Amino acid sequence: MKRNLLGILFLTALVCGFQNSVFAAVPTISPGSIPTVCAGTYSTLPYSSTGSPTTYNITWTGSPVGLPDVPPGTILPLTSIPIIVNSNALTGTYNGTIVVSNVSGSSAPMAISITVNGLPTVETITGGGPYCVGTSGVNVGLSGSDGGVIYQLNRGGVAIGSSLWGTGAALDFGVFTTIGTYTITARNAVTLCSVNMSGSTTISTLPSPAVVSVTGGGNYCVGGVGLPIGITGSTFGTQYQLYRAGVMVGSPIHGLGMAIDFGPHTTTGIYTVVAEDTASGCTANMTGSASINVIPAPTAFSVTGGGNYCAGSHGVHIGLGGSNVGIAYKLFHAGTYIGSMPGTGAPLDFGLYTPAGVYTVVAQNSVYGCTANMDDTAYISLMAVVIPDVTITNDAAPGNAVCEGHTTMFTANPVYPGPNPTYTWTVNGAFAGTGATFSYVAANSDYVEVTMTSDATCAVPSILDEGLFMVVKAAIVPTVVVNAYPGTTIINGTYDTITAIPVNGGVNPTFQWYVNGVLVAGATSNKFISNAFKNNDTVEARVMGCAATPGSGYVVMRVFPRAGIMETGNSGRISVAPNPSNGTFTINGAIGTGSQDVNLKVLDVTGRLVYATAIPANNGQINTTIQIPATVSKGLYILNLVSETENIINQIVIE
């Protein structure tokens, strides 16, 4: 439009000047005032002239920037002269001169001036560009601004939104999602001079990953392997990153067109998944989240009870030292489930049990199923029943007999008494004492009884008693009968056994033997055996019974020399051959007996009978072979032949 106007003015001046050039005088010009103008636009200089000038030129003092001079020869417009102000002109009032010319010459320079308002500083548009679908968009801004300047954002040449006042700093017009080309126009609020900011920005969209749902999570028991977290699907070209409380967990996983499992996780928290298109870099939050909560194990309490119980009883209790509401407590015997009880907040008693073995308890959370083994175990052992017994021993002789006035010590002899038994003694039903022993002076026919209470485990019965009747002997001096075997008549060196038989000997008579009134040391039993008796020795037994005075009895020994045959009674002759023998020998000779049999005895040196038989006699004559049994040992023996009138003793040797 500016160029068209200047062309019209030029043509008009050219025609008019040509018509008047032949007759014109030197021209003059009277310039008017130039209106204030904004840089980058133009203004007009009104004027009046004489002499029909056809050209003009303008010179600006100091050649200011953005205000170009008009060279001589420029066609003069008819009514007003356009004043061009470039956009780089600075604010200010500028002086200059104008000269008009025609064919006759040029006018004197006439002063002119113009006031220029500079344009707002041109800043660079920032922001814009592509953004991911589904996000909030991108910002559009300006790299800087001037105070007193109003900045307007435009899209496709149309103003959008509210304008912003310059602050002397960068401007942000906000976030935009509508695609298009964005420009910014700056306008001075006072001079109303405006200018387009440098450049433009285009907003476009990028595809975002498809949204799928987060799966998994939940509650798991402490000590477990955790819970899986995943998404319901995935897309090729997209990677998926797991987050916990906004912090990345692990590495991203690339989509394969199927569901993704991020594996089991144990850390408590809220898990989310962000998908990123690997080509565009666009991200999208997957729908929902997964929470993982760790459920603590039930509190451990100690298993109680158990122990030993006796066969045939009701068993023993199994329990737990405490419990919590909402927890089920399961009892196991040798690993086999046998029952359950709900927690009450107090100790539990599972009842009486008899099967032997180990008992354990497992607690289980009734809501989440978390389990924990309770502390300790209980062990039940079956004990066999024991049958206690008690007997009484005393220091009396066999038969519970004691001498009159004797203090008797009684002792309880228990079977299965337990660690702390008790004993109660009675005499004829009356209490007499306690303890494992008891002493007193008994009377004849007293009944002494002990009652034992056993505390042995599984004792049945636990209380039992035992008693005995006492026999008390009177203090009577014993009468002593003394016997000798094989008799009081022996061969010198032959062993003879002297036996004392007391009458009224009391409870436990004591013996002492004397020979010819001299005490025989160590001879204190009821038998006295010796082979050292001499002819006419008096062998006496003194017996002490219940009385303070001993009783006595004696025998007188007849001892004959060892050589030859010793005969007693009527005269006679007997021979034994061979002697020594192997146990077979012949007896030959005469003995006073008529035709009756003769008794034959063979005795060892202690007087013990080893062989006896009857041998025939014919008118007093003996001729018989004797065979001693092979069981008879080798050694010296006494051969004794006894008839009605004679007693013959001889020695034989069996080799």
- For 6, phi and psi rounded to 5 degrees? -65, -40
pLDDT of residue 569 exceeding 70, the answer is no
Mean pLDDT computed over every residue of the chain: 89
CB 588 within 8 A of CB 623: yes
What predicted TM-score, i.e. pTM, was given to this entire model? Answer: 0.46
pLDDT of residue 19 exceeding 80, the answer is no
Local confidence band at 397 (pLDDT 50, 70, 90 cut-offs): low
Local confidence band at 11 (pLDDT 50, 70, 90 cut-offs): very low
pLDDT of the residue at 204: 94
Average pLDDT estimate for 402-420: 91
CA distance 70 to 138: 48
pLDDT of the residue at 438: 94
pLDDT of residue 567 exceeding 80, the answer is no
Average pLDDT estimate for 253-276: 95
DSSP E strand boundaries for 296-428: 303-305, 307-310, 316-320, 327-333, 336-342, 348-353, 357-365, 371-373, 378-383, 389-394, 401-403, 407-415, 422-427
Average pLDDT estimate for 516-531: 93
In three-state secondary structure terms, 10 is helix
Average pLDDT estimate for 252-273: 95
First and final CA of the chain: distance in angstroms?
A: 180
Q: Which two tokens stand for residue 117?
A: 């308002």
Average pLDDT estimate for 452-463: 91
pLDDT of residue 5 exceeding 70, the answer is no
Average pLDDT estimate for 182-193: 94
pLDDT of the residue at 502: 94
What is the residue whose two structure tokens read 């002997």?
473
pLDDT tens digit string along 574-617?
889 999 999 999 999 888 766 678 889 998 765 688 999 999 88
- Least confident window among 249-258, 513-522, 630-639: 630-639
pLDDT of residue 252 exceeding 90, the answer is yes
> Residue 621: CB partners within 8 Å, gap ≥ 6?
589, 590
pLDDT of the residue at 626: 94
pLDDT of the residue at 24: 64
Average pLDDT estimate for 199-206: 94
pLDDT of the residue at 606: 59
Local confidence band at 572 (pLDDT 50, 70, 90 cut-offs): very low
Local confidence band at 489 (pLDDT 50, 70, 90 cut-offs): confident
CA distance 486 to 466: 47
Q: Which two tokens stand for residue 185?
A: 């126009």
The continuous run of DSSP H or E covering 254 comes out as strand 247-254
Domains, the chain, ordered by start? 2-117 (2.60.40.10), 125-206 (2.60.40), 214-295 (2.60.40), 303-383 (2.60.40), 389-471 (2.60.40.10), 479-560 (2.60.40.10), 566-654 (2.60.40.3080)
Average pLDDT estimate for 410-430: 94
User: Which one is predicted more confidently, 472 or 649?
Assistant: 472
CB 631 within 8 A of CB 610: no
The alpha carbon dihedral of 180, 185, 189, 193 has a sign of negative
Nearest to 63 by CA among 29, 89, 87: 89
CB 512 within 8 A of CB 524: yes
Q: How far is CA 22 from CA 51, 100, 124, 550, in A?
A: 11, 17, 57, 211
pLDDT of the residue at 223: 84
Q: Which amino acid is at 539?
A: V
Nearest to 539 by CA among 605, 604, 482: 482
pLDDT tens digit string along 100-116?
999 999 999 999 999 99
What does DSSP say about strands 584-590 and 621-627: parallel, antiparallel, or unpaired? antiparallel
pLDDT of residue 324 exceeding 50, the answer is yes
pLDDT of the residue at 636: 80
pLDDT of residue 237 exceeding 80, the answer is yes
Average pLDDT estimate for 30-39: 92
Average pLDDT estimate for 321-332: 96
Q: Which two tokens stand for residue 184?
A: 């910014």
pLDDT of residue 177 exceeding 80, the answer is yes
Cα 634–chain centre separation: 83
Nearest to 192 by CA among 114, 119, 98, 111: 119
What does DSSP say about strands 158-159 and 149-155: parallel, antiparallel, or unpaired? antiparallel
